[in-house]
Amino acid sequence: MSALGIDARLAATQILHGVLFDKRLMSDLLGADDGPIARLSGPERARAQALATGVLRHLAALDAVLDAFLDRPTPLKVKNALRLAAFEMLAEGVAAHGAVNAAVAIVRGSAKAGNLAGLTNAVGRRIAEGGAAIWEAQPPQALPSWLAKPVAKNFGRQVVGAIEVAHGRGAAFDLTLKVPAEAADWAARLEADILPTGSLRLKGRPQLTALPGFETGDWWVQDAAAALPVRLLGDIAGARVLDLCAAPGGKTLQLAAARAAVTALDLSSERLDRLSENLQRTGLSANVVAADVLSWTPDTPFDAVLLDAPCSATGTIRRHPDLPFARAGADMSGLFQVQAAMIDAALAMLKPGGRLVYCTCSLLPREGEVQIADALKRHPGLTVMPPDLAALGVEPGWQTAEGGLRLRPDYWADRGGMDGFYMALLQRGAA
């Protein structure tokens, strides 16, 4: 067995432990200096992340397979190794000897569970022989009840099932072009599809850094749904635009590419470093500011502000399946209060008649439609500007009663779906 294979698999089990036992987000684990992938090579990191993501995306189905062959309580270390082996064999078609031997090696190397290496081998072999039928009979991973209930209440029980199917399929790579008019040329060069909204969708899971246009900064990775909030503003050439909570910078790049004079503000200096790297790669420019949205005051009001507010991120579960386990229905009332406070702060940074785009990558109306309804009550003279659906390339049914846009993972199912998002364009009163 190659060192790459065992090291990546071991790191994947450590990621699983961090998410399922410690209730940590995968992004925190992957970014930690002493985290599971810190000492791995690039290919090893990618493989470990892909394995952990796959297991979490199909955890209930994998556990149904394990339960059929395990007749005793099993330590988490052993269970995670077996989950990994089962995923490789049943979802990826990896040869049984490689997947099972890796699981055995991981368990044998554990100080507390090493004596269960024989059990791991036996169960792994049984899964290889009889697990496929059980695996294929499993439904998609269910939404956690704390999310399924509000989704069912607001969109219907059938939508819950459709979103669960979309989550099981994962997410494709979408690209935003620096020059949107070159979409046909780049689609041909990258063998990508042009979506109705103008984003490019890649086929398969290519190595992004090796693709044409990456080094030259002609495009950046950005989900098709996440690319729409900036486009609500229309022509912003020459306008002074503030991007709040800007890192890692996809929307900042869009604003700069549209020839706006951009100020990108974020609380995290570390995340802003990544934004600055993206600006450098694409040859775009913005004024980058590390500050707190709730305490920062601009010298001059802006023509437009984009607020991608901190949220539950429940619209991104198809690409971040760790979220339901790490969040586990934690009380989000404080988050809702921060969103409202940020809307108020953003409006204060606008000149009279200026426009605010509010958006969240959330499926919860409390973080979208309800926030806008509440903001309209707090701010007399504030209005919602309905989107130009044809210009955006979106469906009429996506527009909400108050004039925003509600996007869901089950939309464009035949094209591969999209992240869940809410967005609305607001205009401040002239006085």
CATH at residue 31: 1.10.940.10
Given 103, 136, 169, the domain boundary residue is: 136
Q: Which domain holds residue 53?
A: 3-136
Instruction: Give the model confidence (pLDDT) of 255-307 as tens digits.
Output: 999 999 999 999 999 999 999 999 999 999 999 999 999 999 999 999 999 99
Least confident of 28-42, 311-325, 416-430: 28-42
- The answer to whether 384 and 404 have CB atoms below 8 angstroms apart is yes
> Residue 4's pLDDT is what?
46
Residues 386 and 241 occupy one common structural domain = yes
Q: How many domains does the chain have?
A: 2
The residue-averaged pLDDT of 10-17 equals 97
pLDDT at 3 over 70: no
Top pLDDT among 206 and 418 is at: 418
Determine the Cα–Cα distance for residues 266 and 299; give it in Å rounded to an integer: 17
| Alpha-carbon torsion (341, 367, 246, 396), positive or negative | negative
Residues 251 and 396 occupy one common structural domain = yes
The residue-averaged pLDDT of 122-141 equals 97
Determine the Cα–Cα distance for residues 104 and 144; give it in Å rounded to an integer: 31
State the catalytic residues: 361
Is 214 a member of any domain? no
Instruction: Give the model confidence (pLDDT) of 379-403 as tens digits.
Output: 999 999 999 999 999 999 999 999 9
Residues 389 and 274 occupy one common structural domain = yes
Residues 102 and 244 occupy one common structural domain = no
> Residue 111's pLDDT is what?
84
Beta bridge partners of 289: 265
Determine the Cα–Cα distance for residues 364 and 210; give it in Å rounded to an integer: 37
Residues 243 and 126 occupy one common structural domain = no
The one-letter code for the residue type at 238 is G
Determine the Cα–Cα distance for residues 111 and 428; give it in Å rounded to an integer: 62
The residue-averaged pLDDT of 416-429 equals 97
Mean of per-residue pLDDT scores for the chain? 95
Is 154 a member of any domain? no
The secondary structure of residue 141, as a DSSP letter, is P
Alpha carbon of residue 115 to chain centroid: 39
Determine the Cα–Cα distance for residues 315 and 369; give it in Å rounded to an integer: 14
Is 340 a member of any domain? yes
Residues 383 and 239 occupy one common structural domain = yes
What contacts 247, CB < 8 A, 6 or more positions away?
264, 266, 268, 271, 272, 274, 275
